[in-house]
Amino acid sequence: MNHKSIMRRLLTLGRGVVTGMPEDAEQRDPLQLFGDWFADAEKSGLLMPEAMTLATASDKGRPSARMVLMKDFDEDGFVFYSNYGSRKAAELESNPYAALLFHWSALQRQVRIEGSVGRVSEEESRKYFNSRHRGSRIGAWASRQSDELPERAVLEQRVRDYDQQFSGSDVPLPPFWGGYRLKPETFEFWQGRVSRLHDRICFERRDKGWKAYRIYP
Beta carbons of 190 and 200 less than 8 angstroms apart:
yes
For this structure, is 152 an active site residue? Answer: no
pLDDT tens, residue by residue, 162-173? 999 999 899 999
Q: Which domains does the chain have, with CATH numbers?
A: 3-125+178-214 (2.30.110.10)
pTM given for the model? 0.89
How long is the chain? 217
What are the angstrom distances between the C-alpha of 16 and each of 6, 34, 207? 19, 20, 38
Q: How far apart are CA 65 and CA 85, in angstroms?
A: 16
Model pLDDT for residues 115-164, shown as the tens digit of each residue: 999 999 999 999 999 999 999 999 999 999 999 999 999 999 999 999 99
Which residue numbers in the chain have pLDDT < 50? 3, 6-7, 10-11, 13-17
Spot the catalytic one: 196, 200, 205, 206.
196
